[in-house]
Chain A
Amino acid sequence: MILGTDQLSKVYRGRGGRPPVHALSGVSIALEAGSTLGIVGESGCGKSTLARLLAGLESPTAGSISLAGATLDSHTSPPSRERARLIQLVFQDPHSSLNPRLTVEQAIGEVLRVHALVERRRVHDRVAELLEMVALPERFVTRHPHELSGGQAQRVAIARALAAQPQILVLDEPTSALDVSVRAEIMNLLVRLQDELQLGYVFISHDLAMVRHISDEIVVMYLGKIVEQGPYQRVLDAPLHPYTRALAAAVPVADPDLAGQPPARLPAAQAAASTGAAEAGCQYEPRCPLAEAICRQSEPVLRCLDGSHAAACHVAAGPARLTGTRGG
């Protein structure tokens, strides 16, 4: 295990007397070197919060993170330079992650210099090399972020992350700003780099086709908690949790003849539930088609069903099917 978390939680204080937001509650994940952990879940379920905690941009309210076996002190901020180099984060919105005043060469060069990765006179060549990796021509070195299209900016952000020679990339919706062709190019690039450099990826996306394509393991989150995890085929082809089933069933159709039949829709989330406040019972209960009486009384815990496939659901992973428990 190269990167792991143990019961990681993050609570944001509520504003103006409103209840706090439990963005992440007791999340334990494990990432192996050279492999990809895919993370999916509804908007607002805490995926980006997890990404920020992993990258050390915020510290957890509770729980811990370990890197290559060593537990990180979550209270050193900023995180040590080495940690900041080893775990690189690529954001959802490329424009917000690039400093508007720096040219592409300055932005990437800064990373090379801070971590003393190449000699000063080699900086330009290395920047050009990194741009080539993300399919951008060398002449982009003099551009500022506002002179880049959305997709070009995202490729610069990926080049900048790669510049640090990290062991782990935390990719938060890395392809959602990209068109299909560039997306294919970036996905092919990510797979190739992973094989060449044994990089570990935490790949966050709502694009199930992409998550499926690149992930070895998949974690499904709902309101700050893991509700299902396991090998990618198991989670997506034989989902256990009712939420994962609904998610996997909602595949978009790129054909106008079928466009009249919208994909299966989840019932809207309940207002109270969206803050993830700890209440008795299953958090998915208000939307769950399988809910039973027990679902309102006790909260289901993540249980391992055959092998490494786990789900937190009384019905799908009920005591009858229980074969073991999973800690983290």
Chain B
Amino acid sequence: MSSGSPVLSIGALEVGVRRRRGSQAIVRGVSLSVAAGEKVGIVGESGSGKSLTMLAVLGLLPPGLDILAGRVEFAGEDLTKAAPVRLRQIRGAGVAMVYQDPMRSLNPLLRVGYQIVEALRAHGYDARDARRRTTEVLGMVGLADVERVSGSFPHELSGGMLQRAMIAMALAASPKLLIADEPTTALDVTIQQQILELVASLQAQTGMAVVWVSHDLGVVAQLVDRVAVMYAGRIVELATTRRIFQRPSHPYTAALLGSLPRPGTQHRGTLQQIGGRPPDPASAEQGCPFRPRCKYATERCAAEPVLSVRGAEQQAACWLEPGSWST
């Protein structure tokens, strides 16, 4: 499945607050490779470190947070050592990101079309081609009134229109790697479907690799080849999409699947929650981070399990023997 040299390779990445004595990690030892043409999903509870991991890849961590250890390679180049100028170049040409926070992608004071045109011109398009491409990509994401959208300021667009404009901007320069952080949360299912098909077809045409961050397992199931499940700043399970759905190997993954809305839930009745609270990824608790909420926990879980092989295309970080528990 993931053949060839990786486009993106993250190795033992630690992100957190750097302190003179004892830095505090939030993202803890994340390793992930994405091959050309591959689509990888990252799922996990709110606050599990999905966005910080991706922002670290692009050198865009918020103030106060740093990469504490580990490496991030894009097409063989170590980005943790790259100069800011070089990072900007790469963010333009090689890697495109759709941010979870729309105001990170778009300047509120400039018209949407102008911003896409300018981004393209920075990648070497001449003015006319840039305008043509802008119209083309805005149409591709299913915006009906391209001209109006293009001439509007961000606040004049609805949430879903804005989200599609951001996706269009990210796809405009045909990046080698698309990182999309919750890119379809404001879209209804029919439009979401259209975006997923668009990404899949571009990916087939240009060999673009995709990292799709989402809490929506339904969306992830339709789009990606492999899924990384994050919990408390760690990857706790990594497997093909099929394996994740058919045979989750980590109790947290199983719980996540279990909290998908089911048909037949009573109107206004209690929806199933995982129960308990996710730990603060920065907490100094020892042992398996899922332990306080895990119904299979034993004494052994007082030590933290590492990600280990569970089958041909599956890894999980849990002490349980494969097949010794059922969901």
User: Using a CB–CB distance below 8 Å, which chain A residues touch chain B?
Assistant: 12, 14-16, 18, 21, 42-44, 47-48, 92-93, 95-96, 135, 137, 139, 146-147, 149-152, 173, 176-185, 187-188, 191, 206, 208-210, 212-214, 232, 246-247, 250-257, 259, 262-266, 268-271, 273-275
Separation of A232 and B218 alpha carbons in the complex (Å) = 24
| Interface residues as binary, B194-231 with A (CB distance below 8 Å gives 1, 0 otherwise) | 10010000000000000000011111011000000000
The yes or no answer to B148 lying at the interface (CB within 8 A) is yes
Q: How far is the CA of A92 from the CA of B147 in the complex (A)?
A: 25
Expressed in whole angstroms, the Cα–Cα distance for A267 and B192 within the complex equals 14
Task: Give Cα A250–Cα B191 distance, bound, in whole angstroms.
Answer: 10
B142 and A96 contacting across the interface, CB-CB below 8 Å: no
Asked if B144 CB lies within 8 Å of chain A CBs, one says yes
Contacts of B64 in A (CB 8 A): 147
Best-surrounded residue of A47, A212, A274 (most CB of chain B within 10 A): A274
The answer to whether B46 touches A182, judged by C-beta atoms less than 8 angstroms apart, is yes
Contact A251 B277, beta carbon cutoff 8 Å = no
Structural contact, B259 and A181, CB atoms closer than 8 A: yes
Distance in angstroms from B134 CB to nearest chain A CB is: 16
**By CB atoms of chain A within 10 A, which of B147, B197, B268 has the most?**
B268
The answer, yes or no, to whether B190 is at the interface (CB within 8 Å) is: yes
Alpha-carbon separation in the docked complex, A264 to B193 (Å):
9
- Determine the chain B residues whose CB is within 8 A of the CB of A152 once the complex forms: 46-47
Q: How distant is A218 from chain B, measured CB to nearest CB, in Å?
A: 12
Q: Chain A residues near B76: list those with CB within 8 A.
A: none
Rounded to whole Å, the gap between the CB of B14 and the closest CB of chain A is: 18
Most chain A Cβ neighbours within 10 Å, of B47, B159, B186, B272: B159
Say whether A184 contacts B273, CB under 8 Å.
yes
Q: Judge whether B273 and A43 touch: CB under 8 Å.
A: no
**Total number of A-B contacts with CB less than 8 angstroms?**
176
Q: Which residues of the other chain, B, contact A259 by a CB distance below 8 angstroms?
A: 221-222
A150-B100, A208-B189, A269-B144 known; 16 other A-B pairs, CB under 8 Å? Answer: A43-B161, A44-B160, A92-B186, A95-B103, A173-B159, A178-B46, A188-B270, A206-B187, A210-B261, A212-B267, A252-B222, A253-B218, A253-B221, A263-B189, A274-B145, A274-B148
Q: List B contacts of A42 (CB < 8 A).
A: 188, 190-191
For A212, give the chain B residue with the smallest CB separation.
B267
Which residue of A is nearest B155, CB measured?
A96
B44 touching A213, Cβ below 8 Å: no
With beta carbons under 8 angstroms apart, the residue of A184, A212, A246, A252 that contacts B219 is: A252
B220: nearest chain-A partner, CB-CB:
A254
* Contact between A262 and B193, CB atoms less than 8 A apart: yes
The interface residues of chain A lying within 8 Å CB-to-CB of B152 are: 15
Give B150-180 as 1s and 0s: 1 = Cβ < 8 Å from A's Cβ atoms.
Answer: 0110001111110010000000000000000
Is B78 part of the binding interface, using a Cβ–Cβ cutoff of 8 Å?
A: no
Q: How far is the CA of A149 from the CA of B50 in the complex (A)?
A: 9
Of B156, B188, B268, the residue contacting A213 (CB under 8 A) is B268
Q: Is B241 an interface residue (CB 8 A)?
A: yes
A269 / chain B contacts, CB cutoff of 8 Å = 144
- CA of A82 to CA of B11, assembled, Å: 55
Please, could you name 11 A-B residue pairs with CB atoms under 8 Å apart, sorted by A? A18-B147, A43-B160, A173-B159, A180-B216, A184-B261, A214-B268, A253-B218, A265-B190, A274-B145, A275-B145, A275-B148
**Highest count of chain A CB atoms <10 Å: which of B144, B197, B241, B260:** B144
User: A270 with B144: in contact, given A147-B64, A184-B259 (CB under 8 Å)?
Assistant: yes
Chain A residues positioned under 8 Å from B151 (CB to CB): 15-16, 18
Partner pick for A44 among B158, B221, B265, CB 8 A cutoff? B158
Q: Is the pair B190, A180 in contact by a Cβ cutoff of 8 Å? A: no
Would B142 and A268 count as touching, CB distance under 8 A? yes
Q: How far is the CA of A234 from the CA of B197 in the complex (A)?
A: 32
Of all chain B residues, which has the CB nearest A176?
B185
Q: Which 5 A-B pairs have the closest CB atoms?
A: A151-B46, A43-B160, A179-B215, A206-B188, A184-B271
Is the pair B47, A254 in contact by a Cβ cutoff of 8 Å? no
